[in-house]
Amino acid sequence: MRVDLRLYAIVDPETSGGHDLADLARRLAAGGAMLVQLRDKLSETRVMITRARAIKAALGAVPLLINDRVDVALAAGCDGVHVGQQDMAAEDVRRLLGPGAIIGLSIKTAAQAAAAPLDLIDYAGIGGVYGTTSKQNTSKPIGPAGLKRIVEELHRRSPGFPTCGIAGINASNAAEVIAAGADGISVISALSLAPDPQAAARGMRKIVDAALVKRSRA
């Protein structure tokens, strides 16, 4: 499934800016987010499922993915999952969710890009590109240059394979993420903690769309 990664919003109860997550997701989608992920590392499973159903209902046609938790995605009728290198293998995720689900995989190195099962996943989330306080990350940021190397390795294997940059991305650096080769940006704090999340999403989409046009003309 071809997925639109231009603005990929992540909502997290730990970084919600005091917003109800379903309302926050609705506002981000109204501002131009094309994909939303629920990342919840703390809640009980039943709470996560209830929360995911509420967000899914608020989003309408915008796809909702769940971070890590295939069981929650299944129970809540979500559109797919995003998994890390230490989570359930993509082969098992695909077997459980079926061919129509969206599956994303975190990739931090060119070696991981070389080994990724591109026939089983729909996009790669590459990073962390920059430093972030939104999650525990022991790896050094890869920067735009590291992002570019990983995109090139993925495209060597599968031309045009969809990618987005992850971590520490905001209005000041989003354009350089796109210039480095990514198809979009994955954002938490710069949207959720903004005074007006919908306006922040709208501004980020404008930056990404302009950067994509500029890259296509280069």
214 carries an active-site annotation? no
- Bond preceding residue 128 cis, omega within 30 of 0: yes
Among the listed residues 26, 51, 69, 106, the single catalytic one is 106
- Answer yes or no: is pLDDT of 111 > 70: yes
- Answer yes or no: is pLDDT of 115 > 70: yes
pLDDT given for residue 205 in this prediction: 98
Helices (H), 129-196: 143-157, 174-179, 189-192
Write out the DSSP string of 115-135.
H--TTT-SEEEEE--S--SSS
202 carries an active-site annotation? no
Q: What is the pLDDT of residues 30-61, one digit of tens each?
A: 999 999 999 999 999 999 999 999 999 999 99
Contact yes or no for 25/181 (Cβ under 8 A): no
Among the listed residues 39, 51, 56, 69, the single catalytic one is 39
Count the neighbouring beta carbons within 10 Å of the beta carbon of residue 24.
Answer: 23
Q: What is the pTM of this model?
A: 0.95
Contact yes or no for 102/1 (Cβ under 8 A): yes
106 carries an active-site annotation? yes
**Residues 6 or more apart in contact with residue 218 via CB below 8 angstroms:** none
- 218 pLDDT band, cuts 50/70/90, is confident
Contact yes or no for 154/104 (Cβ under 8 A): no
What's the rounded Cα separation, in Å, for the pair 11 and 66? Answer: 10
Among the listed residues 135, 148, 206, 215, the single catalytic one is 135
Residue 44 tokens read as 């009980």
Cα separation of the two ends of the chain: 28
pLDDT given for residue 166 in this prediction: 97
| Phi, psi values for residue 35, rounded to 5° | -155, 140
Domains and CATH numbers, the chain: 7-217 (3.20.20.70)
- Answer yes or no: is pLDDT of 1 > 80: no
Contact yes or no for 153/114 (Cβ under 8 A): yes
